[in-house]
Amino acid sequence: MELMPKLPVAEWISDATDWIKTTFSGIFDFIKDDFGDFIEFFAETVLMSIPIWLFITVVAVLAFFVSKKRLGLPVFSIVGLWFIQNQELWTELMNTFTLVIFASLISVIIGVPFGIWMSKSKPVEQILTPVLDFMQTMPAFVYLIPAVAFFSIGMVPGVFASVIFATPPTVRFTNLGIRQVSHELIEASDAFGTTGTQKLFKVQLPMAKKTIMAGINQTVMLSLSMVVIASMIGAKGLGQTVITGLQRADVGTGFVAGLGIVILAIIIDRFAQNLNTQRGDQA
């Protein structure tokens, strides 16, 4: 005998989703159409218009200076990107790169202000902490459901799902970095009569930037980890090739596309780590 009737949680969530979709349909259509067109333009027109040799050269030169003129990262970037081009996956790479750029950028734009807000208010931190826990522990596949419900299929829902999944590290690390700023520095800035805004931008954020950059690095990596999952709802890129290989039991195709994702992940991660190290040394 049941102790109590089953709560209609699924029905409540479905009704809430339908209400949101109907009420804000204009906003969702605008994002899906206009923002989707911009993403497509950036990937297929802007990035694809850059000659491959020039793109690889620019990445290698940047890698050389970012890594303090060491040859490891530039050589790996040249070999890795050449390999992707050699396997005729350059278009897929550019689509994947576009998804990661937009998802990471939106996540940082959302995450840093919320992290600052958390660091300034204990009640806000107590409210947002379980929300962030929920966002990070919920299986990533679940985020595809509202993404498709609101934006249909394509790159836009892929970016949407990636943003939800990838934002928490930036929020948490921004909050942590600001809270770890020395109390002596805060007291010294107060003694000089700085305003709250001056204290934030001239003391707290500069001192916390190494921690914040570590959070942004995690956000970028999580965005990249969503590439294959987002491809299940129509996001173009290397992930779509992996899914195609899976569906056709084509081990070679799936492995090569997966290797392309690994190469991109390593390049981005090494860039971020070297930039963070340089900023930390300067601080």
> CATH number for the domain including 107?
1.10.3720.10
Instruction: Please state, in angstroms and rounded to a whole number, the distance separating the CA atoms of residues 173 and 179.
Output: 10
Query: pLDDT exceeding 70 applies to what percent of the chain?
Result: 97
- Copy the structure tokens of residue 196: 């709250």
Q: Would you say residue 159 lies in a domain?
A: yes
Mean pLDDT across the stretch 42-49?
A: 87
Domain count, the chain: 1
Phi, psi for residue 67 in degrees, rounded to 5: -90, 20
Q: Exposed (0-12), middle (13-18) or buried (19+): which is 135, by Cβ within 10 Å?
A: middle
Domain that holds residue 101: 9-49+87-282
Q: Give the pLDDT score at 278.
A: 60
- Asked if residue 74 is part of any domain, the answer here is no
The residue-averaged pLDDT of 136-159 equals 85
Within a domain: 246: yes
- 25, with CB counted inside 10 A (0-12, 13-18, 19+), is exposed
Q: What is the mean pLDDT of residues 109-123?
A: 91
Global pTM reads: 0.87
Q: Is residue 267 part of a domain?
A: yes
Domain assignment of residue 65, yes or no: no
Q: Residue 1: what pLDDT? A: 47
Q: How many residues are present in the chain?
A: 283
Residue 280 has pLDDT above 90, yes or no: no
Residue 172 has pLDDT above 90, yes or no: yes
Structural domain includes residue 67: no
Q: Supply the mean pLDDT for the chain.
A: 87
Residue 277 pLDDT greater than 80, yes or no:
no
Lowest mean pLDDT among 6-20, 80-94, 161-175, 253-267: 6-20
Q: What is the mean pLDDT of residues 110-131?
A: 91
pLDDT band, very low/low/confident/very high, at 219 (cuts 50, 70, 90): very high
Q: What is the mean pLDDT of residues 19-29?
A: 85
Find the mean pLDDT for residues 69-87. 91
Name every residue whose Cβ is closer than 8 Å to that of residue 176 and which is 6 or more positions away in sequence. 211, 215
Query: Is 118 part of a structural domain of the chain?
Result: yes
User: Mean pLDDT, to the nearest integer, of 223-232?
Assistant: 85
For residue 212, being part of any structural domain is answered with: yes
